[in-house]
Structure formats: structure tokens, C-alpha cells
Homo-oligomer: A and B are copies of this chain.
């Protein structure tokens, strides 16, 4: 059957407007912010500059009715960021969307993959 020579990543983006969209990058960023409690730490974990991480948070907060991330300056640890209820909801919906979409199209993905060039070394 030779089904999984290469996993073939499945990337999905919802485009709401010219500047507003939700995709795998923002989703992963939310997860790292939730895990670390910090925008900069989340960016670092993803090999992403703070500037970029902060910009993504900005646009996310700007496109939804309620902010997905609440950040604070100063304080005991200098500040931090938390993923709000809305943020967790958005993340959950997006992840669920990805999973549903991927599994629904699994057979098409396989067929496409079968038409691919054989990779000489799958290493």
C-alpha cells in the first residue's frame, strides 16, 4: 500500500479579509502563549521574532469581537500574556476544523500522494 512515504502536511487558512485570516501559524502561537504565559517566550519557542509574534497577536486581537490574548506590562515577572476564553474557543474551533477537514479529504490526499514522484531517500 505504501501509504505514508511522506506525511504531506495539510495547511488550512480561513481568510476573512485582506488583512484578517486565521491559519496554522496563529494557532500554534496561541498554544505556545498558553503554555508559556509570554508572547516573547512563545515566539522564541517557534523560532519567531518577538516583533512578528506581537504583530500576529495584534491582528488576532483586532479581528475578533473579544481579544484572544490579554497581555500585561510590569509586575512581579515583568509582565506576561494569557489566552482568554475566547482565544481558547477560537483555537479549539480551528483545531477541530483542521481535523474534520483533513479526515474528510483523506482519500483525496492519498490519491494525490500516489501521483507524486517517488522520493529517492525518504530519510
Q: Beta-carbon contacts of A56-91 to B below 8 Å, as 1s and 0s?
A: 000000111110000000000000000000100110
Check if A48 is an interface residue, CB within 8 A of chain B. Answer: no
Check if A8 is an interface residue, CB within 8 A of chain B. Answer: yes
Check if A36 is an interface residue, CB within 8 A of chain B. Answer: no
Check if A104 is an interface residue, CB within 8 A of chain B. Answer: yes
Chain A residue total in the interface (Cβ 8 A)? 42
Nearest chain-B residue to A101 (Cβ)?
Answer: B101
Q: Beta-carbon contacts of A1-41 to B below 8 Å, as 1s and 0s?
A: 00000101111111111001010000000000000000000
Pairs across A and B, CB under 8 Å, 21 listed: A6-B16, A8-B14, A9-B14, A10-B12, A11-B15, A12-B12, A12-B13, A12-B101, A62-B117, A64-B116, A64-B117, A65-B117, A65-B118, A90-B112, A96-B108, A97-B105, A100-B104, A100-B108, A101-B102, A101-B104, A101-B105
